[in-house]
Every structure is written in C-alpha cells, then in structure tokens.
Structure 1
Amino acid sequence: MKNTELAKRIKALRSRKGMSQEELAEVSQLSLRTIQRIEGGETEARGDTLQRLAKALNISPDELIDWAENEDRGFLVVLNLSALSFIAFPILGIVVPLALWMLKKDKIKYVNETGKKLLNFQISWCILASFFTIFPMIIQIFHIGGSLFRAFQVFNLGAIEAFILMVPILYSVNLAFIIVNTIRSYNFQKVYYKPAIPFLR
C-alpha cells in the first residue's frame, strides 16, 4: 500500500470532522510533525501510531487500510476495462489506458506494472490487426496500380474471407484477455498480457 493513499484517507477524514492537524495531533497524542509527515506521504502510520490515529478519527485501523487497498483495486479494474475502448476504435484501446496509466503510474500500487503490460499488449494487438485488415488492402492497391476504387473492385475472395474470419477472432481474443485480467487485478493477482512486444519496459 502506498503512503500517499493512506495519507489521503487520513487527511480526508480529518477534514470531514473539521479538525486541524494540531487538533488531530492533540487528540491522538502524536506530535504535529508526525501528523504532517503522515499526511505528506513521507512516512506510513503503523502499529501504535495507526491505532492512535484511528481512535482519534473514530474509525478502526482495518478500515483505514481497507480503504486504501480498495481504491487501488478500483483503479486497477478501471485501467484494465479502459482497454475495452478498442471496440469503438482500435487506437482508443491504447490511448485511453495510456492516459490513465500516465495519471497514476507512480501513485498507486501495481498500476505501473499493469499499465505497461496492458499497453504492450494493445499496441501489439493493433499491429497484428492491421496486418490482417489494412495491409492486405494496401498490397492490393499497389498490385493493381494504386487505385483505391479498383482495389475494392478486385479485392480477391481469399482476402475477404481472411478479413471476415480474423477480425472476430482478434476482437474476441482481446476481449477475453481484458476480462480475465480485470478479474485478476481485482484479486490483486499479476496480469497476464501475452504474447506482446515489450515496447514499454
């Protein structure tokens, strides 16, 4: 659990109760500097310190810890599910998770690792999808002299069959990986997005 997550929870609870840092320090019998360091994410409340803070905020220590873990879990689920945007347009399956990953990669546990694996898979998937959909059309255009209209006219039956067959398979595989890894993230298990080219390490 990251110090910043617990720090946010303690600060939020203190503010909700209308307490200043000085008042929380007094009620919890901790030094003001300790409260400042905890809320600043410089140190993590443990043991007796956590017990005192929880008592002063009228909440159990487990609730403080569970809140931070649940926030982590919720964001990991959202990060994985954000890749479903590939259904609307393939590139969105990269752009949306990338934005979320950049936002929280250094702030929430497991986000950096999960985000890299997810993005590597989505980029690899887009390349593979392009190979089976866009590239055959480009080759066909060059083969018949550069006319897009003519390419559609003479697009051979084999290429059409490959397109019709591969697109549902590629989309189904991507969808399955996202769903399985969303469940794994919810259970704090490592995600498995393979095979993938390691663009992000």
Structure 2
Amino acid sequence: MTEIPEDLIEQMPDDNRNFLTTITLSALSFIIFPLLGIVIPLGLWLSNRRTLKGIDKPCKRLINFQISWCLSFIIFVVMLCNHEMFHFPAAVLNLGMPEWILLSIPLFMA
C-alpha cells in the first residue's frame, strides 16, 4: 500500500490526521471477520467524507486494498478447500490442508 507523503500529512488539520488514524486502525477489524475490514472503513469514510477535506484519496486507497486482500483470501480458501474439484494434487510437496493454511497466513498478512 502506498504511503501518504509526510509534507502532505503535516499540512492536514488535526481532525483529518485523527480520522486517518482511526480509519487505518479500523481496517484491522478483518481479524474478527474478513468483511469487517471493508465495511467499517467504508462506513466511516461515507459518514465523514463531506465534513473532512482531503481524506478521499487515502480512504479510497485503504478500502481498495482491503477489497483486494479479502477477494484474494476468499479465492485462496475456496481453492484450498476444493483442491479435488480443481484437480490439484492432494498433497503438493507432501503438505496437507492444515499446513497450507498455516503457511498462507504470513502471505496474507504481509
């Protein structure tokens, strides 16, 4: 995810900086349920986009990243659980499904 330049952040009012911190931390709600990482930041952005200036671009980037991450995670889990339907070998590298799930967690957290 691309970062916001420091000079742009320093020019923002305190309300905008506090809101950007809040919406960034709200994206961590995916830990509870993956779709919450999209719904909560989207709700926060929609409720504050008219009152706070200059937050549209970072909020859109954050929500886009969360949507991309959630879709890739769902696709991976569906393919992992249905490996026979997709004609994947049952044990690639002699690893079973639990091992693949544990190995994939760092991939999706990066």
Structure 2, unpaired ranges of 5+: 1-11
**Native 8 Å contact 1:76 1:111 kept in 2:** yes
Structure with greater Cα Rg: 1
Equivalent runs, 1:1-201 vs 2, <5 Å:
69-140=13-84, 142=85, 156=91, 157-171=95-109, 173=110
Distance 2:25 2:35 in 1: 15
* Cα pair distance change 1:143/1:119, threshold 3 Å: closer
- The alpha-carbon deviation at position 87 of structure 1 amounts to 1.0
Letter aligned with residue 170 of structure 1: F
Q: 1:24-62 deviations in whole A, cap 9, x for unaligned? A: xxxxxxxxxxxxxxxxxxxxxxxxxxxxxxxxxxxxxxx
**Native 8 Å contact 1:129 1:167 kept in 2:** no
- The alpha-carbon deviation at position 132 of structure 1 amounts to 2.2
Distance 1:129 1:143 in 2: 17
Runs (4+) off by over 4 Å: none
TM-score of the superposed pair, with normalisation by structure 2: 0.72
**Native 8 Å contact 2:79 2:86 kept in 1:** no
Structure 1, unpaired ranges of 5+: 1-67, 145-154, 174-201
TM-score of the superposed pair, with normalisation by structure 1: 0.42
Letter aligned with residue 79 of structure 1: I
Q: 1:124-154 deviations in whole A, cap 9, x for unaligned? A: 00111122223221343x469xxxxxxxxxx
% identical equivalent positions: 38
RMSD: 2.3
